[in-house]
Chain A
């Protein structure tokens, strides 16, 4: 019993102390419109530290800094395009979840489409070939049909002793 109490106590203090260590949420910008734009822009951007998380969802230190930077740019009255440009000029196209269409990103944009077309082509060719192979077979003669039916009936019949 006493062991259980100690364990419980430790667990509870553990939970509370970890709560104390957690940082406060980053402050929201004073006005809601700014915050909305910030979220819209930041969800288009990749967090470079975690790479598979967007800037708006990431809790990395750098993501916090970059959100603060974007907030400042919005307060300066910069347009969304200018803010994108600010980020891309520092971190490259990689920072954008929707990279621009250019030579190095052609495969990225059209690769899946090409794969789909190639797969579709392969399927069509396969189906045609199969159809042709099946078409080559002449229908059964009367004699063959009878034999085939006899075989089928034979299988249905109960096993002989």
Chain B
């Protein structure tokens, strides 16, 4: 009996460790940006390309920044959740359109000049939103992905919750689901808006 007890305990511990490890999401990398000010930027607005948007315009408001692109398959999956959220919530939702043309593997963007690329970005983004619904208060264009790097974007879609003082309070990598919205996002928004 005693002879088998310890190997059995060792085996049990190993099984538990592996089970926990398998259920962890390797994409769930803690962001160092949570608790830090949202990085500043000034990017072209999709709805008004002659204007720019900057996060400091949102000071005093709790708002969401959602990173999306028309080539991103998970964004399609997430989109109805955002449309639903926008219908029922008054929280401003800013879309960061991330590398709309450059991120699309099917396009060789190295041969495009800046003006052509920008036109393509706007065309593609506008038609995607027209087809799938536009939940965004406004969207901005991160054509070369520089702002994405500042926000530590590595897997579109990503969503940031930014508080009244401009501090990032939560980051979610991957598509938002109704469960995450109801269980995590809405309670946090309610708390920040108090």
A: contact size bracket: 10 to 19
Q: Which of B30, B102, B110, B149 contacts A66, CB < 8 Å?
A: B149
A91:B103 contact, CB within 8 angstroms: no
Q: How many A-B residue pairs have CB under 8 A?
A: 39
Instruction: List, in ascending order, chain A residues with CB within 8 A of B150's CB.
Output: 90
The B17-52 residues at the A interface (CB cut-off 8 A) are: 26, 29-33
Once A49-B155, A65-B145, A66-B149 are accepted as A-B contacts, the answer to whether A91 and B108 lie under 8 Å apart by CB is no
Looking at the assembled complex, report how far the CB atom of B173 sits from the nearest CB atom of chain A, in whole angstroms.
10
The A43-63 residues at the B interface (CB cut-off 8 A) are: 48-49, 51, 61-62
**Bound: A92/B111 CA distance, A:** 34
Q: Which of B26, B32, B145, B146 contacts A91, CB < 8 Å?
A: B32
Q: List 22 A-B contacts (CB under 8 A).
A: A48-B29, A48-B154, A48-B155, A49-B155, A51-B26, A61-B102, A61-B105, A62-B145, A62-B154, A66-B149, A88-B32, A89-B32, A90-B33, A90-B150, A91-B152, A91-B154, A92-B29, A92-B31, A92-B32, A92-B152, A93-B32, A94-B29
Instruction: Assess whether A35 is interfacial by the CB under 8 Å rule.
Output: no
Q: Nearest B residue to A89 by beta-carbon distance?
A: B32
**Bound: A88/B32 CA distance, A:** 8
Looking at the assembled complex, report how far the CB atom of B44 sits from the nearest CB atom of chain A, in whole angstroms.
19
A90:B32 contact, CB within 8 angstroms: yes
Q: CB within 8 Å of A: which residues of B? A: 26, 29-33, 99, 102-103, 105, 108, 110, 145-146, 149-152, 154-155
**Bound: A20/B18 CA distance, A:** 44
Q: CB within 8 Å of B: which residues of A? A: 23-24, 48-49, 51, 61-62, 65-66, 69, 88-94
**Bound: A89/B110 CA distance, A:** 29
**Bound: A65/B156 CA distance, A:** 15
Q: Among B29, B99, B150, which residue has the most Cβ atoms of chain A within 10 A?
A: B29
B30:A92 contact, CB within 8 angstroms: yes
Instruction: List, in ascending order, chain A residues with CB within 8 A of B31's CB.
Output: 92
B149:A94 contact, CB within 8 angstroms: no
**Bound: A62/B26 CA distance, A:** 17
**Bound: A49/B102 CA distance, A:** 16
**Bound: A13/B107 CA distance, A:** 21
Instruction: List, in ascending order, chain A residues with CB within 8 A of B102's CB.
Output: 61
Instruction: List, in ascending order, chain A residues with CB within 8 A of B32's CB.
Output: 88-93
Looking at the assembled complex, report how far the CB atom of A68 sits from the nearest CB atom of chain B, in whole angstroms.
9
